[in-house]
Structure 1
Amino acid sequence: MGRFLAGAIASLLLVTGAFLIWQGRAQGPAVPAAPPPRLAANVAPISLARIPRALTADPASKEQKRFTRADKDKDGRITLAELVDPRRKAYAKLDLNQDGKLSFEEWAVKTIEKFNEADGDKSKDLSAAEYATTAPKPKAPKPACSCG
Protein backbone atom coordinates (compact mmCIF):
# COMPACT_ATOMS: atom_id res chain seq x y z
CA MET A 1 0.00 0.00 0.00
CA GLY A 2 2.87 2.35 0.88
CA ARG A 3 4.48 1.83 -2.50
CA PHE A 4 1.23 2.61 -4.29
CA LEU A 5 0.78 5.82 -2.28
CA ALA A 6 4.41 6.90 -2.87
CA GLY A 7 4.03 6.23 -6.61
CA ALA A 8 0.84 8.27 -6.78
CA ILE A 9 2.41 11.20 -4.94
CA ALA A 10 5.50 11.03 -7.17
CA SER A 11 3.33 11.00 -10.29
CA LEU A 12 1.31 13.96 -9.02
CA LEU A 13 4.50 15.93 -8.28
CA LEU A 14 5.87 15.06 -11.71
CA VAL A 15 2.73 16.24 -13.49
CA THR A 16 2.61 19.41 -11.34
CA GLY A 17 6.25 20.17 -12.12
CA ALA A 18 5.72 19.68 -15.86
CA PHE A 19 2.67 21.95 -15.75
CA LEU A 20 4.57 24.70 -13.92
CA ILE A 21 7.48 24.50 -16.32
CA TRP A 22 5.12 24.66 -19.29
CA GLN A 23 3.26 27.67 -17.83
CA GLY A 24 6.45 29.42 -16.79
CA ARG A 25 7.94 29.67 -20.24
CA ALA A 26 9.09 33.23 -20.74
CA GLN A 27 7.16 35.14 -23.32
CA GLY A 28 8.76 38.55 -23.25
CA PRO A 29 6.86 41.66 -24.15
CA ALA A 30 6.82 42.50 -27.81
CA VAL A 31 9.45 45.08 -28.65
CA PRO A 32 8.02 47.92 -30.71
CA ALA A 33 9.63 48.56 -34.04
CA ALA A 34 12.21 51.31 -34.22
CA PRO A 35 10.92 54.61 -35.51
CA PRO A 36 12.10 55.68 -38.94
CA PRO A 37 15.17 57.92 -38.90
CA ARG A 38 14.50 61.63 -39.07
CA LEU A 39 16.78 63.10 -41.68
CA ALA A 40 16.73 66.71 -42.63
CA ALA A 41 16.33 67.26 -46.33
CA ASN A 42 19.18 69.79 -46.69
CA VAL A 43 21.94 68.47 -44.47
CA ALA A 44 25.39 69.42 -45.62
CA PRO A 45 28.16 66.89 -45.03
CA ILE A 46 30.30 67.67 -41.99
CA SER A 47 33.95 68.29 -42.69
CA LEU A 48 36.32 67.35 -39.90
CA ALA A 49 39.65 69.03 -39.31
CA ARG A 50 42.72 66.91 -39.91
CA ILE A 51 44.23 65.31 -36.85
CA PRO A 52 47.69 66.73 -36.18
CA ARG A 53 50.66 64.38 -36.09
CA ALA A 54 51.04 62.58 -32.82
CA LEU A 55 53.88 63.59 -30.57
CA THR A 56 56.90 61.35 -30.75
CA ALA A 57 58.10 59.52 -27.68
CA ASP A 58 61.33 60.40 -25.92
CA PRO A 59 64.06 58.51 -27.76
CA ALA A 60 65.91 57.69 -24.54
CA SER A 61 64.71 54.39 -23.16
CA LYS A 62 64.51 53.58 -19.47
CA GLU A 63 67.79 51.72 -19.68
CA GLN A 64 69.49 54.68 -21.36
CA LYS A 65 68.19 57.01 -18.65
CA ARG A 66 69.39 54.63 -15.94
CA PHE A 67 72.82 54.49 -17.58
CA THR A 68 72.98 58.29 -17.78
CA ARG A 69 72.14 58.60 -14.05
CA ALA A 70 74.88 56.13 -13.12
CA ASP A 71 77.50 57.75 -15.39
CA LYS A 72 78.45 60.58 -13.02
CA ASP A 73 81.35 62.00 -15.06
CA LYS A 74 79.40 61.71 -18.36
CA ASP A 75 82.24 59.96 -20.22
CA GLY A 76 80.00 57.23 -21.66
CA ARG A 77 81.38 54.55 -19.32
CA ILE A 78 80.49 53.50 -15.79
CA THR A 79 83.38 52.75 -13.48
CA LEU A 80 83.14 50.63 -10.35
CA ALA A 81 83.52 53.77 -8.22
CA GLU A 82 80.55 55.43 -9.98
CA LEU A 83 78.46 52.34 -9.32
CA VAL A 84 79.48 51.88 -5.66
CA ASP A 85 79.71 55.47 -4.36
CA PRO A 86 75.96 56.18 -4.13
CA ARG A 87 75.60 53.16 -1.83
CA ARG A 88 78.45 54.00 0.56
CA LYS A 89 76.39 56.25 2.82
CA ALA A 90 73.64 53.66 3.39
CA TYR A 91 76.26 50.95 3.99
CA ALA A 92 78.17 53.13 6.46
CA LYS A 93 75.01 53.57 8.55
CA LEU A 94 74.77 49.78 8.97
CA ASP A 95 78.51 49.12 9.51
CA LEU A 96 78.56 49.99 13.23
CA ASN A 97 82.20 49.12 13.95
CA GLN A 98 83.44 50.74 10.71
CA ASP A 99 85.53 47.69 9.71
CA GLY A 100 84.22 47.73 6.13
CA LYS A 101 82.34 44.48 6.67
CA LEU A 102 78.67 44.11 7.38
CA SER A 103 78.05 41.24 9.75
CA PHE A 104 74.69 39.69 10.54
CA GLU A 105 74.83 41.19 14.03
CA GLU A 106 75.30 44.71 12.66
CA TRP A 107 72.34 44.25 10.33
CA ALA A 108 70.26 42.70 13.13
CA VAL A 109 70.94 45.64 15.48
CA LYS A 110 69.41 48.08 13.01
CA THR A 111 66.48 45.74 12.33
CA ILE A 112 65.78 45.29 16.04
CA GLU A 113 65.97 49.06 16.61
CA LYS A 114 63.49 49.60 13.77
CA PHE A 115 61.17 46.93 15.26
CA ASN A 116 61.32 48.48 18.74
CA GLU A 117 60.61 51.97 17.37
CA ALA A 118 57.57 50.65 15.49
CA ASP A 119 56.24 48.70 18.51
CA GLY A 120 54.41 51.64 20.08
CA ASP A 121 52.56 49.66 22.75
CA LYS A 122 55.68 47.58 23.65
CA SER A 123 53.75 44.32 23.19
CA LYS A 124 56.69 42.64 21.38
CA ASP A 125 54.59 42.21 18.24
CA LEU A 126 53.46 44.60 15.55
CA SER A 127 49.87 45.32 14.65
CA ALA A 128 49.02 46.22 11.06
CA ALA A 129 49.09 49.94 11.92
CA GLU A 130 52.45 49.64 13.68
CA TYR A 131 53.92 47.63 10.80
CA ALA A 132 52.76 50.31 8.35
CA THR A 133 55.08 52.78 10.10
CA THR A 134 58.10 50.71 8.97
CA ALA A 135 57.41 51.34 5.28
CA PRO A 136 60.04 53.41 3.50
CA LYS A 137 59.10 57.07 3.30
CA PRO A 138 58.10 58.14 -0.21
CA LYS A 139 60.46 60.49 -1.94
CA ALA A 140 59.26 64.06 -2.33
CA PRO A 141 58.12 64.69 -5.91
CA LYS A 142 60.40 66.84 -7.99
CA PRO A 143 58.90 70.19 -8.96
CA ALA A 144 57.61 70.34 -12.51
CA CYS A 145 59.46 73.57 -13.14
CA SER A 146 62.48 75.33 -11.70
CA CYS A 147 60.49 78.47 -10.96
CA GLY A 148 61.11 78.21 -7.24
Structure 2
Amino acid sequence: MLRYVAGAASVFLLMIGGLLFWQGRAETTPMPTAPAARFAAAPSQPLTLKPIPDAPSADPKSKEEKRFARADKNEDGRITLAELVEPRRKPFAKLDLDHDGKLSFEEWAVRTIDKFNDADADKSKSLTPAEYSTTAPKRKAKPACSCS
Protein backbone atom coordinates (compact mmCIF):
# COMPACT_ATOMS: atom_id res chain seq x y z
CA MET A 1 0.00 0.00 0.00
CA LEU A 2 2.87 2.31 0.77
CA ARG A 3 4.03 1.92 -2.82
CA TYR A 4 0.76 3.28 -4.15
CA VAL A 5 0.94 6.35 -1.89
CA ALA A 6 4.58 7.03 -2.88
CA GLY A 7 3.69 6.66 -6.56
CA ALA A 8 0.73 9.05 -6.29
CA ALA A 9 2.91 11.60 -4.44
CA SER A 10 5.63 11.43 -7.10
CA VAL A 11 3.06 11.88 -9.91
CA PHE A 12 1.61 14.87 -8.04
CA LEU A 13 5.10 16.43 -7.65
CA LEU A 14 5.91 15.87 -11.34
CA MET A 15 2.67 17.59 -12.38
CA ILE A 16 3.43 20.60 -10.16
CA GLY A 17 6.96 20.82 -11.58
CA GLY A 18 5.64 20.71 -15.16
CA LEU A 19 3.11 23.44 -14.38
CA LEU A 20 5.79 25.70 -12.88
CA PHE A 21 8.09 25.06 -15.82
CA TRP A 22 5.33 25.91 -18.30
CA GLN A 23 4.36 29.10 -16.45
CA GLY A 24 7.94 30.35 -15.99
CA ARG A 25 8.35 32.56 -19.02
CA ALA A 26 11.54 34.63 -19.21
CA GLU A 27 11.18 38.29 -19.94
CA THR A 28 12.86 39.09 -23.23
CA THR A 29 14.62 42.40 -23.78
CA PRO A 30 15.21 43.61 -27.29
CA MET A 31 18.81 43.29 -28.58
CA PRO A 32 20.61 46.59 -29.23
CA THR A 33 21.37 47.40 -32.82
CA ALA A 34 24.85 46.75 -34.17
CA PRO A 35 27.17 49.78 -34.33
CA ALA A 36 27.97 51.27 -37.70
CA ALA A 37 31.12 50.09 -39.46
CA ARG A 38 34.15 52.25 -38.69
CA PHE A 39 35.97 51.67 -41.94
CA ALA A 40 34.30 52.66 -45.16
CA ALA A 41 35.95 50.05 -47.36
CA ALA A 42 38.92 47.74 -47.39
CA PRO A 43 41.89 48.81 -49.53
CA SER A 44 41.57 47.65 -53.09
CA GLN A 45 45.12 46.27 -53.27
CA PRO A 46 46.74 44.14 -50.61
CA LEU A 47 49.42 45.84 -48.58
CA THR A 48 52.91 44.56 -49.44
CA LEU A 49 55.83 44.90 -47.07
CA LYS A 50 59.49 45.08 -47.91
CA PRO A 51 61.40 41.88 -47.14
CA ILE A 52 63.39 41.95 -43.92
CA PRO A 53 67.13 41.82 -44.65
CA ASP A 54 69.24 39.09 -43.09
CA ALA A 55 70.99 40.03 -39.87
CA PRO A 56 74.73 40.55 -40.26
CA SER A 57 76.81 37.69 -38.96
CA ALA A 58 80.13 37.94 -37.18
CA ASP A 59 83.07 37.23 -39.40
CA PRO A 60 85.29 34.52 -37.83
CA LYS A 61 88.33 36.29 -39.22
CA SER A 62 87.45 39.47 -37.33
CA LYS A 63 87.16 37.46 -34.10
CA GLU A 64 90.60 35.99 -34.72
CA GLU A 65 91.99 39.43 -35.50
CA LYS A 66 90.63 40.71 -32.20
CA ARG A 67 92.19 37.78 -30.36
CA PHE A 68 95.51 38.46 -32.07
CA ALA A 69 95.33 42.18 -31.18
CA ARG A 70 94.79 41.32 -27.50
CA ALA A 71 97.93 39.17 -27.46
CA ASP A 72 100.04 41.65 -29.47
CA LYS A 73 100.85 44.02 -26.61
CA ASN A 74 103.29 46.31 -28.46
CA GLU A 75 101.12 46.34 -31.61
CA ASP A 76 103.94 45.52 -34.02
CA GLY A 77 101.93 42.90 -35.91
CA ARG A 78 103.84 39.99 -34.33
CA ILE A 79 103.43 38.05 -31.11
CA THR A 80 106.63 37.19 -29.28
CA LEU A 81 106.94 34.51 -26.62
CA ALA A 82 107.33 37.24 -23.98
CA GLU A 83 104.04 38.85 -25.02
CA LEU A 84 102.29 35.50 -24.83
CA VAL A 85 103.77 34.48 -21.45
CA GLU A 86 103.71 37.84 -19.63
CA PRO A 87 99.97 37.91 -18.78
CA ARG A 88 100.37 34.52 -17.08
CA ARG A 89 103.30 35.52 -14.83
CA LYS A 90 101.30 36.96 -11.94
CA PRO A 91 98.88 34.00 -11.61
CA PHE A 92 101.85 31.60 -11.79
CA ALA A 93 103.79 33.58 -9.17
CA LYS A 94 100.81 33.38 -6.79
CA LEU A 95 100.87 29.59 -7.04
CA ASP A 96 104.68 29.18 -6.91
CA LEU A 97 105.06 29.38 -3.12
CA ASP A 98 108.81 28.64 -2.91
CA HIS A 99 109.60 30.97 -5.89
CA ASP A 100 111.80 28.43 -7.64
CA GLY A 101 110.11 28.98 -11.01
CA LYS A 102 108.53 25.54 -10.93
CA LEU A 103 105.01 24.67 -9.93
CA SER A 104 104.88 21.41 -8.03
CA PHE A 105 101.74 19.45 -7.30
CA GLU A 106 102.06 20.29 -3.60
CA GLU A 107 102.14 24.04 -4.32
CA TRP A 108 99.03 23.72 -6.49
CA ALA A 109 97.30 21.50 -3.91
CA VAL A 110 97.98 23.96 -1.04
CA ARG A 111 96.38 26.77 -3.01
CA THR A 112 93.42 24.60 -3.99
CA ILE A 113 92.85 23.35 -0.43
CA ASP A 114 93.03 26.90 0.92
CA LYS A 115 90.50 28.03 -1.67
CA PHE A 116 88.21 25.12 -0.72
CA ASN A 117 88.46 25.88 3.01
CA ASP A 118 87.74 29.57 2.41
CA ALA A 119 84.63 28.67 0.40
CA ASP A 120 83.37 26.11 2.97
CA ALA A 121 81.56 28.65 5.17
CA ASP A 122 79.76 26.09 7.36
CA LYS A 123 82.90 23.91 7.72
CA SER A 124 81.00 20.78 6.65
CA LYS A 125 83.89 19.53 4.46
CA SER A 126 81.61 19.81 1.42
CA LEU A 127 80.47 22.71 -0.72
CA THR A 128 76.86 23.63 -1.31
CA PRO A 129 75.97 25.24 -4.65
CA ALA A 130 75.98 28.67 -2.99
CA GLU A 131 79.42 28.07 -1.44
CA TYR A 132 80.82 26.70 -4.70
CA SER A 133 79.63 29.79 -6.59
CA THR A 134 82.00 31.90 -4.43
CA THR A 135 84.98 30.09 -6.02
CA ALA A 136 84.19 31.37 -9.52
CA PRO A 137 86.82 33.72 -10.94
CA LYS A 138 85.87 37.37 -10.76
CA ARG A 139 84.93 38.71 -14.18
CA LYS A 140 86.08 42.10 -15.29
CA ALA A 141 83.21 44.52 -15.75
CA LYS A 142 82.64 45.45 -19.36
CA PRO A 143 82.53 49.18 -20.03
CA ALA A 144 79.07 50.57 -20.63
CA CYS A 145 78.10 51.00 -24.24
CA SER A 146 78.41 54.61 -25.37
CA CYS A 147 76.21 54.14 -28.40
CA SER A 148 73.29 56.46 -28.79
TM-score range relative to shorter protein: 0.5 to 0.7
Give the C-alpha shift of residue 79 in structure 1: 0.4
Alignment of 1:138 with 2:142, yes or no, is: no
The code of the aligned residue for 1:65 comes to K
The code of the aligned residue for 1:129 comes to A
Q: Which runs of 4+ in 1 moved over 2 A?
A: 44-48, 50-60
Please state whether the residue corresponding to 1:115 is helix, strand or coil: helix
Q: 1:53 to 1:129 in 2, by over 3 A?
A: closer
Give the C-alpha shift of residue 134 in structure 1: 1.3
Alignment of 1:88 with 2:92, yes or no, is: no
Alignment of 1:78 with 2:102, yes or no, is: no
Q: In the aligned structure 2, how far is the partner of 1:73 from the partner of 1:42?
A: 65
RMSD: 2.7
Q: 1:51 to 1:96 in 2, by over 3 A?
A: same
Give the C-alpha shift of residue 57 in structure 1: 5.8
Q: How many residues align?
A: 106
Tell me whether 50-59 or 118-127 shows the greater mean CA deviation. Answer: 50-59
In the other structure, the counterpart of 1:104 is: 105
Please state whether the residue corresponding to 1:63 is helix, strand or coil: helix
Give the C-alpha shift of residue 71 in structure 1: 0.9
Give the C-alpha shift of residue 127 in structure 1: 2.0
Q: In the aligned structure 2, how far is the partner of 1:61 from the partner of 1:104?
A: 39
- Structure 2 residue ranges without an equivalent (≥5): 1-40
Give the C-alpha shift of residue 70 in structure 1: 0.6
Please state whether the residue corresponding to 1:85 is helix, strand or coil: helix
Please show how residues 45-84 of structure 1 align to structure 2 within 5 Å: 46=47, 48=49, 61-84=62-85
Please state whether the residue corresponding to 2:65 is helix, strand or coil: helix
Q: In the aligned structure 1, how far is the partner of 2:117 from the partner of 2:83?
A: 35
TM-score, normalised to structure 2's length? Answer: 0.59
Q: 1:74 to 1:55 in 2, by over 3 A?
A: farther
Please state whether the residue corresponding to 1:140 is helix, strand or coil: coil
The code of the aligned residue for 1:108 comes to A
